[in-house]
Amino acid sequence: MTETMQYLETGQIGEVEIRRYPAVWVATVAGNEEGEVFGILFRYIRGHNQPGKKIPMTAPVITPVEIPMTAPVISDTAGMSFVMPAGFRKEDLPEPRDNRVRLREIPAREVAVIRFRGRASTEDVARVRERLLSALTANGIKTIGEPFLMRYNPPFTPGFLRRNEVGVEIRSE
């Protein structure tokens, strides 16, 4: 079973969940071709690192929210990120053999999220992003950075069973 990044739900505004995430380490690869960057990250956790240590797969996989006519963006990163298992510290992470893999810590933060099902098409993600940002604006909640997409299921999962979320970091009260 895949470990899921833990969080504490701290509030709700309609369909928007407010969550507190602890600090986590991520492995990130910049780039726009999802298949390629996924493969690089997957090889890293399967042992393409120094000293060949396998790292368990976790969920979600975090990617930019792509909006037509804009550059892809993600809160604090540009590319795809694999979240490292809970409790991993910098000294627990093996050195990548591929210099495109970057390891970094995302500090504890508060995130507003809307969950949805499906294949997370560009159009679906854009609609959820708009609902999320509109709800936050209507409630006077300030965002930090840009929205990002979190996907929880492997690619072979049927669309109607897939769990996705669009999130954005918010300023804590």
- φ/ψ of 22, rounded to 5, equals -75, 170
Task: Indicate whether 116 pLDDT > 60.
Answer: yes
| Residue 171 token pair | 């300023």
pLDDT reported for residue 166: 98
Q: What is the mean pLDDT of residues 142-157?
A: 93
CATH number, domain at 104?
3.20.80.10
3-state secondary structure of 129: helix
Compute the average pLDDT of residues 84-99.
95
Range of the domain at 164: 3-170
Instruction: Check pLDDT > 60 for residue 96.
Output: yes
pTM over 0.85: yes
Mean pLDDT computed over every residue of the chain: 90
